[in-house]
Amino acid sequence: MKAEELRITIYSYEDTTELPGIGAELIRLAKEATEKAWAPYSQFRVGAALELENGEIITGNNQENIAFPSGLCAERVALFYAGSQYPGVAIKRIALAAYADGRFVAKPVYPCGDCRQVLLEHENRVKQPVEVIMYGENEIKLVKSVSDLLPLPFDYNLTP
Ligand code: THU
């Protein structure tokens, strides 16, 4: 038997002003984006704001549906819109915020597994890491690459 250990790094911040680049502005926009979410079923409003390499900023929010699986998370709404408008342009960083029960969540929300997989494919495609910032009222978390959120992604290679 052999055991392998994987190493990931998660940074914590107490205040948005400590964040790198335009991180603080992305959080402000992610929080604002929660206001336009369509989340009547979960009552959990998620906002995402991403910065592209070309300077564009794109926001998104969760869009739910009465047929539950038909909805989409905030991250993928923003990411797929970015891909449709600016194909191949790298995402530098993405910030997330969530609002429920009349306030922004105290503990940061991390992207769901599906969004991690989609973000990782983008990272691999553009061959540069995407920084992910997760906002909570009490604490802000940051990873410098999606591979820190999904160290063992689904992947396959058909060539022997
Ligand atoms: N949601 C997101 O928008 N992003 C995530 O990473 C996880 C969950 C949404 C989906 C659903 O509309 C609501 O949050 C509750 O799960």
- Could you report the per-residue pLDDT of 60-109, keeping only the tens digit for each? 999 999 999 999 999 999 999 999 999 999 999 999 999 999 999 999 99
Q: For 115-132, what is the mean pLDDT?
A: 98
Ligand 1 mutation pick, 44, 107, 117, 143, max ligand atoms within 8 A of CB: 44
- 160 has a pLDDT exceeding 90: no
What is the Cα–Cα distance from 57 to 82, expressed in whole angstroms? 9
Residue 147 above 90 pLDDT?
Answer: yes
Residue whose Cα lies nearest atom 8 of ligand 1: it is 73
Alpha carbon of 19 to those of 3, 47, 83, 155: distances in Å? 35, 18, 25, 32
Please compute the mean of the pLDDT values over residues 135-154 and round it to a whole number.
97
Rounded to two decimals, the pTM is 0.96
pLDDT, position 52: 98
Q: E-strand spans in 62-157?
A: 91-100, 103-104, 131-135, 140-143
Domains of the chain, each with CATH number or no CATH? 12-148 (3.40.140.10)
Is the CB of 128 inside a 6 Å radius of any atom of ligand 1? Answer: no
**Closest residue CA from atom 10 of ligand 1:** 73
> Which one-letter DSSP state was computed for residue 21?
T
| Per-residue pLDDT at 151 exceeds 90 | yes
Q: Which residue has the tokens 């998370």?
A: 73
Is residue 73 a contact partner of residue 110, using CB atoms and an 8 Å limit? no
**pLDDT score of 29:** 98
- Residue-averaged pLDDT of the chain: 97
Tokens of 54: 């070309």
**73 ligand 1 Cβ < 6 A:** yes
Q: Average pLDDT in the 46-72 region?
A: 98
Give the start-end residues of each E strand in the chain: 11-13, 45-52, 57-61, 91-100, 103-104, 131-135, 140-143
User: Is residue 95 within 8 Å of residue 23, measured between CB atoms?
Assistant: yes
